[in-house]
Chains A and B, each alone.
Chain A
């Protein structure tokens, strides 16, 4: 390896003789604006996601500050509702999804032995429309009357007849996010189908590639449904249609069916790539092959298929015939079988391995435990009679934050720690990493665990003020929230250090137990890799 390895990956030309004619990397802002390089685009996606994570997190801080004690202290209820709404939208569409797309960009070509994504120009476009989308959404907060205040689920008619004019901006920004996601998904599918190295058969693909392939199909299936939902909201509000207005022959509950037909697969869009990441990390640090590779693939496929027939479990209180409630209850419970298989496989992978606990593994283990807690509360939520009690309370808030924060986001952090040395060629700052992990782990549980209790005790979600019996727990929840928010600044410091090329140089394999094509190329990964496809045995 050459001296150039000490520089962050995208800034460096790999000095392989046969690559020299490709090694001129553009400089300055145009490099990033016009880039078609999967690594550059991956980096852009990841930084964008992190910035959005901080902005969405800042909104969560506003929410927790207002809920620190009973009474209205800091914000008006209308602004509070805008915060909960935009926090949700930003975290889902701005943080989690772009972060996974960034990881897909960086890793899928390197994992399957492809030189780049199949459609590099579309790749550039699918990223660069995103900042515009979020600029539109965020700017709506500064309009007279404020931004969207109807929850990220934008139920009609609150989002139609009773919403402000900024709804139009909300609709257009969601359209752009949807277009971006669909383009990203097409790129992933085309790349995986066409650009696998010779010998990289379907059942040899790393699980991260498998889970992303399935995720991409989910995206293509449901993002148009979301686009349809927001378009109907737009025309109901501004052009006199009555899709969701009973007075004109429509039905407000139909909105929820359409939304959740998108929304439930969306949940798996945000968790299947996480399963993939954990399935890469656990074997590495167990120094043992993944247990039950084939069953992992089939389980992922089953979860994806089942995700299309469970959407109404978000809607048990809307008033459904009892046989429909039964169907959606049983279908939902069924999902816990393939999900359980995944958790069991991870544990079996660790069993009789040779375990070490570097930072990616720490996050992966935290993921397995905390995601499972979220999964178990999800199983409780599937039971219709008790869901009537849990629904729209903080119990649900606790549930989906366990699966999304300690699930999806912890997996993204695990992935960053795992592959960062490959990207930069340097080991991350282990001291900061430990601080980041332990502060996050403790605070995130102080933040979300007591939400189970206040939810069961009867505190509804999305309220700016609450009855006195919830005061003690809310204080703790808020303190946990502030601590979790601050902990992410440690992560920021670590990432800045990493991008400044600080740290110990690493080998191409980086981790003792790491296997796969991405660990066979030098660290940092050269700007262009696998221009001649490797042969997989």
Chain B
């Protein structure tokens, strides 16, 4: 046992430092997109946070080196196999006071810049633009205050990539169908809330991570310096697909942003007109089923599963479900308004009348349900209006 003394000491202390050294090395060459460290990010605040992180990191390394150094020296110098005789001291008030006071002073050195940065981060006053960010299982919804634009943002990675059937793309799990777009150089305030469980909206490059609490609104902000695409993820466990709820933000120059915004407003206006027009039209079964399958897989399949069988005990099956086979009005109603006290959300504000008509038709005819029922946009509209 005693023979291994010095090897022991070396091995024990070598390891953590050996493992730390790549971090230090990479730090020298640090830049954007580090795979082992925080990033400087795209805002002044995220840069301050990065500096604070590095300050803390180096202070901690210094403390570790000092403490472990003394211990290592003792393990080498004062080992019995080297003939060390134990000393008899076992207290020293001066030393004890010193190593209480010195750490306290180090803490104050840390606390001052931390407090300054924190105060700056929490100052959400006088924004140039405000976006309401709403989390729900498992997607984000963005609404621009004072502008007529709002949309859901869903993960765009194909299911087949997750199931290892297709090759994974460069932005695997970090891509969405409709990213949030914000202007550069302007203070954008985010009002963050949730429709169901707690989520957390996180964009590492902005140093913004704020919980989305159902029934309450949190505030955060970012002033992005450079145009670009910034990716993040939901950071609070929010159920089954917590890992599949990315955040993508595109920062554009203000002029480009305005152009984008006008186009979105125009598109929203056209969609409303289209919706009115569809009320007086009927779609064919093929069209409904085709459209319905698309909507189902994008919106419903996460819980009810692509085969309509749900997850027993967690999410009910639609295949062979009594409501789906029989009660059409109740079926439309639950899709529109959700079911309180369960994970079933109200999709009325997320999907168009046409989408809901198609998906209800799909559910009533897929997987051997074969009711033959066709639901049109006007049928859905009738339920919306309470007829």
Chain A residues near B (Cβ < 8 Å): 70-73, 77-78, 81, 143-146, 149-151, 155, 157-158, 161-162, 164-165, 245-247, 251-253, 286-295, 317-319, 322, 325-326, 329-330, 333-334, 336-337, 340-341, 343-344, 347-359, 362, 365-366, 368-370, 372-373, 376-377, 379-380, 383-386, 388-389, 391-393, 430, 434, 438, 441-442, 445, 449-450, 452-453, 456-458, 460-470, 472-473
A145 nearest CB neighbor, chain B only: B313
- The dominant DSSP class at the A interface is helix
B178 lies within 8 A of chain A by Cβ: no
A457 and B35 form a contact (CB under 8 A)? yes
What 1/0 mask marks residues of chain B from 188 to 220 whose CB sits below 8 Å from any chain A CB?
A: 000000001110101010011111011110110
A354 and B78 form a contact (CB under 8 A)? yes
A356 and B2 form a contact (CB under 8 A)? yes
B114 and A151 form a contact (CB under 8 A)? no
A317 and B107 form a contact (CB under 8 A)? no
B173 lies within 8 A of chain A by Cβ: yes
A453 and B49 form a contact (CB under 8 A)? no
B34 and A457 form a contact (CB under 8 A)? yes
B96 lies within 8 A of chain A by Cβ: yes
A329 to chain B, nearest CB (A): 7
A450 nearest CB neighbor, chain B only: B19
Within 8 A of A (CB), among B58-95: 60, 63-64, 67-68, 70-71, 74-75, 78-81, 84-92, 95
Knowing A71-B168, A325-B118, A468-B168, the reply to whether A369 touches B12 (Cβ < 8 A) is: yes
New A-B contacts (10) at CB < 8 Å, excluding given A71-B163, A333-B111, A370-B16: A72-B163, A77-B240, A157-B214, A165-B313, A326-B118, A337-B107, A351-B70, A354-B84, A460-B202, A473-B35
B99 and A341 form a contact (CB under 8 A)? yes
A441 and B70 form a contact (CB under 8 A)? no
Across the interface, A453 reaches (CB within 8 A) one of B37, B111, B210, namely: B37
* Alpha-carbon separation in the docked complex, A72 to B121 (Å): 37
* Alpha-carbon separation in the docked complex, A472 to B35 (Å): 10
Knowing A295-B96, A445-B16, the reply to whether A388 touches B209 (Cβ < 8 A) is: yes
A289 and B90 form a contact (CB under 8 A)? yes
A357 and B84 form a contact (CB under 8 A)? no
B342 and A161 form a contact (CB under 8 A)? yes
A70 and B168 form a contact (CB under 8 A)? yes
B96 and A292 form a contact (CB under 8 A)? yes
B243 lies within 8 A of chain A by Cβ: yes
B234 and A252 form a contact (CB under 8 A)? no
B180 to chain A, nearest CB (A): 18
B15 nearest CB neighbor, chain A only: A445
Knowing A72-B162, A322-B118, A453-B36, the reply to whether A462 touches B239 (Cβ < 8 A) is: no
B125 to chain A, nearest CB (A): 12
A339 to chain B, nearest CB (A): 9
B115 lies within 8 A of chain A by Cβ: yes
* Alpha-carbon separation in the docked complex, A353 to B8 (Å): 17
A154 nearest CB neighbor, chain B only: B237
Task: Please name all residues of chain A whose beta carbon is closer than 8 Å to the beta carbon of B238 when the two chains form the complex.
Answer: 158
Task: Please name all residues of chain A whose beta carbon is closer than 8 Å to the beta carbon of B86 when the two chains form the complex.
Answer: 286-288, 352-354
A464 and B243 form a contact (CB under 8 A)? yes
Knowing A161-B342, A353-B87, the reply to whether A441 touches B35 (Cβ < 8 A) is: no
Task: Please name all residues of chain B whose beta carbon is closer than 8 Å to the beta carbon of A359 when the two chains form the complex.
Answer: 1
B314 and A78 form a contact (CB under 8 A)? yes
* Alpha-carbon separation in the docked complex, A454 to B207 (Å): 16
Closest 5 CB pairs of A and B: A145-B313, A246-B215, A463-B243, A144-B313, A319-B218
Size of chain B's interface in residues, with CB distance under 8 A? Answer: 111
* Alpha-carbon separation in the docked complex, A74 to B57 (Å): 37
Task: Please name all residues of chain B whose beta carbon is closer than 8 Å to the beta carbon of A333 when the two chains form the complex.
Answer: 107, 110-111
Across the interface, B209 reaches (CB within 8 A) one of A294, A391, A465, A467, namely: A391
A329 and B15 form a contact (CB under 8 A)? no
Knowing A145-B312, A351-B74, the reply to whether A77 touches B241 (Cβ < 8 A) is: yes
B71 and A368 form a contact (CB under 8 A)? yes
Task: Please name all residues of chain A whose beta carbon is closer than 8 Å to the beta carbon of B208 when the two chains form the complex.
Answer: 388
Across the interface, A351 reaches (CB within 8 A) one of B78, B200, B214, B233, namely: B78
Across the interface, B2 reaches (CB within 8 A) one of A340, A357, A468, namely: A357
Chain B residues near A (Cβ < 8 Å): 1-2, 4-5, 8-9, 11-13, 15-16, 19, 23, 34-39, 48-49, 52-53, 56-57, 60, 63-64, 67-68, 70-71, 74-75, 78-81, 84-92, 95-96, 99-100, 103-104, 107, 110-111, 114-115, 117-119, 121-122, 137, 161-164, 168, 170-174, 196-198, 200, 202, 204, 207-211, 213-216, 218-219, 232-244, 311-314, 341-343
* Alpha-carbon separation in the docked complex, A397 to B56 (Å): 19
Across the interface, A449 reaches (CB within 8 A) one of B5, B19, B121, namely: B19
* Alpha-carbon separation in the docked complex, A411 to B95 (Å): 27
Across the interface, B235 reaches (CB within 8 A) one of A344, A358, A362, A392, namely: A392
B270 to chain A, nearest CB (A): 35
A317 and B78 form a contact (CB under 8 A)? no
* Alpha-carbon separation in the docked complex, A466 to B242 (Å): 11
Task: Please name all residues of chain A whose beta carbon is closer than 8 Å to the beta carbon of B8 when the two chains form the complex.
Answer: 357, 362, 365
14 contacts between A and B (CB under 8 A): A73-B164, A77-B244, A145-B314, A155-B198, A251-B215, A288-B87, A318-B211, A319-B211, A357-B5, A358-B1, A388-B207, A389-B209, A391-B209, A392-B200
- Which of A288, A368, A449, A456 is packed against the most chain B CB atoms within 10 Å? A456
- Which of A151, A358, A449 is packed against the most chain B CB atoms within 10 Å? A449
B248 to chain A, nearest CB (A): 12
Task: Please name all residues of chain B whose beta carbon is closer than 8 Å to the beta carbon of A353 when the two chains form the complex.
Answer: 74, 78, 84, 86-87
Knowing A336-B103, A391-B209, A453-B36, the reply to whether A247 touches B215 (Cβ < 8 A) is: yes
* Alpha-carbon separation in the docked complex, A353 to B104 (Å): 28
Task: Please name all residues of chain A whose beta carbon is closer than 8 Å to the beta carbon of B11 when the two chains form the complex.
Answer: 438, 441
* Alpha-carbon separation in the docked complex, A482 to B219 (Å): 42
A210 to chain B, nearest CB (A): 16
B91 and A291 form a contact (CB under 8 A)? yes
B167 to chain A, nearest CB (A): 10
Task: Please name all residues of chain B whose beta carbon is closer than 8 Å to the beta carbon of A162 when the two chains form the complex.
Answer: 137, 196-197, 239, 342-343
B91 and A293 form a contact (CB under 8 A)? yes
A441 and B64 form a contact (CB under 8 A)? no
A44 to chain B, nearest CB (A): 31
Task: Please name all residues of chain A whose beta carbon is closer than 8 Å to the beta carbon of B79 when the two chains form the complex.
Answer: 354-357
Task: Please name all residues of chain B whose beta carbon is closer than 8 Å to the beta carbon of A251 when the two chains form the complex.
Answer: 215-216
* Alpha-carbon separation in the docked complex, A162 to B121 (Å): 33
* Alpha-carbon separation in the docked complex, A99 to B35 (Å): 38
B67 and A347 form a contact (CB under 8 A)? yes
* Alpha-carbon separation in the docked complex, A145 to B71 (Å): 52
B213 and A81 form a contact (CB under 8 A)? no
Task: Please name all residues of chain B whose beta carbon is closer than 8 Å to the beta carbon of A317 when the two chains form the complex.
Answer: 200, 209-211, 235-236
* Alpha-carbon separation in the docked complex, A72 to B8 (Å): 41
Task: Please name all residues of chain B whose beta carbon is closer than 8 Å to the beta carbon of A465 when the two chains form the complex.
Answer: 162, 173, 243-244
* Alpha-carbon separation in the docked complex, A370 to B244 (Å): 33
B1 and A383 form a contact (CB under 8 A)? no
A340 and B99 form a contact (CB under 8 A)? yes
* Alpha-carbon separation in the docked complex, A388 to B50 (Å): 11
Task: Please name all residues of chain B whose beta carbon is closer than 8 Å to the beta carbon of A380 when the two chains form the complex.
Answer: 53, 56-57, 60
Knowing A144-B312, A322-B119, the reply to whether A467 touches B174 (Cβ < 8 A) is: yes
Across the interface, A442 reaches (CB within 8 A) one of B15, B38, B56, B121, namely: B15
Knowing A72-B162, A392-B200, A456-B37, the reply to whether A161 touches B341 (Cβ < 8 A) is: yes
B311 and A145 form a contact (CB under 8 A)? yes
* Alpha-carbon separation in the docked complex, A356 to B9 (Å): 11
A291 and B68 form a contact (CB under 8 A)? no
* Alpha-carbon separation in the docked complex, A373 to B15 (Å): 12
A337 and B104 form a contact (CB under 8 A)? yes
Task: Please name all residues of chain A whose beta carbon is closer than 8 Å to the beta carbon of B240 when the two chains form the complex.
Answer: 77-78, 81, 149
- Which of A430, A453, A458 is packed against the most chain B CB atoms within 10 Å? A458
